[in-house]
Amino acid sequence: YAAVVAKEFNSVTIENHLKMNAIRPCDTCWNYTLADSVVNWCLRNKKRVHGHTLLWHESFPKWLKKYNSKQDSAFVENVLKEHVMKTVKRYKGKIASWDVANEVIADKSTELRQSFWLTILGPNFLSRIIQYAKEADPDVKIFYNDYGQEYDYVKIEGIDKLLATLKFQNIKIDGIGFQMHTCIQSPSLDSIKNAIMHFAKQGYLIHISELDVPNYPKDGNKTMTDSMLRLQSERYKNIAAIYALVPQKQRFGITTWNLSDKDSWIRTYMKDELQKPLLFDEQYKRKPAYYGFREGLKISLKK
Ligand code: G3I
């Protein structure tokens, strides 16, 4: 695993170790051991590290649950502030960009997602996280990361609305993360292109932050035949080619979510064990997807 990362990639996003539930397993403990070891490996191997993520409703530390009344808001705010400042400061000079928040927009709506943070801290919690992060490291690049922009125009409107609110408060976001957990068959390439260019035209850095391409066929048969693997390769190529339309100085990069098919969150977390969504197979050998993606990237490099 490490040899492939060392050889093939120049940037790493740590999948889970920097999430709040990993760093704050209990109210009196902090655990940076695993994150430190991966960050240090990355730096030794000259990889850029992108921070993921300071806040996500799914990586919520269970022990915080009991502080769920409005009277707890000052305490909870302080927990969040301490988490953001301590974490960003710890990796200052090592992690230069962060997904400050992940998925705070509700599905099929332009409103903020219902969450513990929204209920206890009110709608401006994101502005304050950004301020805390900037206070800890004034040079840090701030990303808003979400899924579904490429297939759901309402999500785009929701993000636009959030960005407008932040702008009104004089708070700057540097980049947008498109998770891009996509699929061989859908959405259309036009839909992907429009979503990416919508934010590129506004001048944001664009990070395809969690790319993978599983196969969700309408007939339910997920077996990856050779012809499916070829289509997957085309899909990777086309996504990289779309990315080439983003002006070069706004291309933050493309990150795949996990390394080999064996490691994919779709197999472990989603328990969908037939999927082969990535660039490397179970033996860490390059797949047709790898070569397709590389073709697409060559287009980016020419522009
Ligand atoms: O490592 C432990 C293992 O020791 C334990 O026995 C097992 C039993 O539950 O859990 C293992 O940890 C799991 C971990 O994945 C590693 O497999 C956690 O329970 C599980 O919650 C965790 O899931 C992660 C998920 O986020 C939730 O944090 C996935 O790996 C990770 O790929 C996924 O990533 C998210 C992005 O952060 C945000 N965008 C969506 C993406 C996919 O859901």
Answer yes or no: is pLDDT of 300 > 80.
Answer: no
Going by alpha carbons, the residue nearest to atom 10 of ligand 1 is: 269
Going by alpha carbons, the residue nearest to atom 26 of ligand 1 is: 16
Going by alpha carbons, the residue nearest to atom 21 of ligand 1 is: 269
Mean local confidence (pLDDT), 120-125? 96
Going by alpha carbons, the residue nearest to atom 34 of ligand 1 is: 15
Summarize pLDDT for 7-18 with one digit per residue, the tens: 999 999 999 999
Ligand 1 center to residue 269 CA distance, Å?
A: 6
Q: With left for phi above 0 and alpha for psi between -120 and 50, is residue 3 left, alpha or beta?
A: alpha
- Residue 294's nearest CA partner among 265, 258, 256, 262 is 256
User: How far is it, in rounded angstroms, from Cα 295 to Cα 75?
Assistant: 51
Q: Ligand 1 pocket: which of 265, 275, 278 to mutate (most atoms <8 Å of CB)? A: 265
Going by alpha carbons, the residue nearest to atom 22 of ligand 1 is: 269
Answer yes or no: is pLDDT of 301 > 80.
Answer: no
Ligand 1 center to residue 7 CA distance, Å?
A: 25
Ligand 1 center to residue 255 CA distance, Å?
A: 17
Ligand 1 pocket residues where CB is under 6 Å: 15-16, 19, 58-59, 102, 179, 210, 265, 268-269
Mean local confidence (pLDDT), 211-229? 89
Mean local confidence (pLDDT), 272-287? 96
Answer yes or no: is pLDDT of 303 > 80.
Answer: no
Average pLDDT over the chain, rounded to an integer: 96
Answer yes or no: is pLDDT of 59 > 80.
Answer: yes
Q: How far is CA 247 from CA 141, 204, 205, 216, in A?
A: 18, 10, 9, 32
Answer yes or no: is pLDDT of 179 > 70.
Answer: yes
Summarize pLDDT for 83-102 with one digit per residue, the tens: 999 999 999 999 999 999 99
User: How far is it, in rounded angstroms, from Cα 53 to Cα 277?
Assistant: 23
Ligand 1 center to residue 250 CA distance, Å?
A: 30
User: How far is it, in rounded angstroms, from Cα 300 to Cα 96?
Assistant: 23
Atom of ligand 1 nearest to the CA of 53: 37
Q: Ligand 1 pocket: which of 12, 13, 15, 56 to mutate (most atoms <8 Å of CB)? A: 15
Going by alpha carbons, the residue nearest to atom 42 of ligand 1 is: 265
Atom of ligand 1 nearest to the CA of 265: 32
97 backbone dihedrals φ, ψ, rounded to 5°? -145, 145
